[in-house]
Amino acid sequence: MGRRFFGTDGIRGRVGEPPITADFILKLGWAAGRALVSQGCNKVLIGKDTRISGYMFESALEAGLSAAGLDIALLGPMPTPGIAYLTRTLNACAGVVISASHNPYYDNGIKFFARDGAKLPDELEARIEALLDEPLTTADSAALGKAERIEDARGRYIEFCKSTLPSRISLRHLKIVVDCAHGATYHIAPSVFSELGAQVVPMGVSPNGLNINDGVGSTQPELLRQAVIAERADLGIAFDGDGDRVAMIDGNGRVLNGDDLLYVIARDRLRAGQLPGGAVVGTLMSNLGLEVAFNELGIDLHRAKVGDRYVMQLLNQHGLMIGGEGSGHIICLDRTTTGDGIVSALQVLAAMVTADVTLAELTGGMSQYPQHLVNVPVAKQQDPAGSKRIQEAVRQAELELGVRGRVLLRPSGTEPVIRVMVEGEDEGQVASLASALAGTVREAMAG
């Protein structure tokens, strides 16, 4: 669509650099408000993660939305999926999330949910972008939006998360280390698991505005792995800064990513006769080992483009319920409307308790192929498909890998990098090919 600002997961960048500036976010709030008002909208929710710039952008969004004539309900720090849930249950017509997910504190971003808790349609995002070119106007004083703070938002979302675990299942007898990445789940996730009976060892629950995702969380699970071993815990659970991703650590200290967890959830749904279509949605990046394991179970794997919005599109297109990414975005449409780290972790625990096995035993039916990913920085968004030199290098790598390997090159939807992924049976070969391909991409893109 050639959109200037919206990527696969909203608008994101470094704070203070366009477009992540106070004046732009004010204008974005107004443009979004105008677009929503034209559809009969009258109330929008705003939630955020714990990074320090959230205060500034919350105020800017509030002013812009109010100027457009929309009422605002402020949720404070709240996981992204919690904002999607509350958008539905509080009868708002949209929800706005201030977060840069797993990025460092000096980045931030904005993403929107529609009234059903799903991402905004592409057409509405395009309409918002078009309005950004118009001069900001202010509604008549009598029509300006008012703001209120929702005091019980945390409790509402905790109860929802708990409700996604079947009532017959208790987490008693489980000791769990819960890493909240000093992010939006810090005051929610430990309560969810402890209220369901688990003995919880919390970490990453002291946000100061600057430490979100700093050495902790789902993208940096080493401290959690060490804590699980030191505490002799049954497992560990790690969320990213906004709580829509999850990674887990089994009792042996092995890190389990989204592909491992998707396998566990899908197999459990299949066992219970609750896997419509006998199929699951992954992405182009989903491990080949996941596809092999699903084939052995008789489960089809549909591959979407990378990004949870594309996983969602394919789920809806085929009438399926379960999908996800290796990054830890897991979507269980039979439980909620969007990727939710806490809900996904609970589904894994439900499978574990039902089978009465350890997490390590639960994931034993799947072996991931070695997969090497190299991010090649580029000056601007570029597509490697336009380079004959790169395409010839890809073809040669695919010939060397044979039928038991894959090569994937794609521009990131959230940052200025080309992602180079090579996957195969031999780890040394995979790493060597990925490094060589990344060098070719680096040289070709610089030229």
Label residue 333 exposed, middle or buried (CB < 10 Å: 0-12, 13-18, 19+).
middle
Tell me if residue 217 falls in helix, strand or coil: coil
Select which of 53, 101, 191, 327 is catalytic.
101
Structure tokens at 441: 């991409």
Look at residue 184 and give its three-state secondary structure: coil
Q: How far apart are CA 268 and CA 64, in angstroms?
A: 46
Contact residues for 335 (Cβ-Cβ < 8 A; gap 6+) = 164, 343, 347
Q: What is the DSSP letter of 23?
A: H
Is 163 one of the catalytic residues?
Answer: no
Q: Which helix (H) or strand (E) holds 366?
A: none
Q: What gap in Å lies between CA 312 and CA 121, rounded to an integer?
A: 12
The answer to whether 265 and 355 are in contact (CB under 8 A) is no
DSSP per-residue letters across 386-443: G-HHHHHHHHHHHHHHGGG-EEEEEE-SSSSEEEEEEE-S-HHHHHHHHHHHHHHHHH
Per the CB < 8 A criterion, the answer to whether 202 and 180 are in contact is yes
As annotated, the active-site residues are: 101
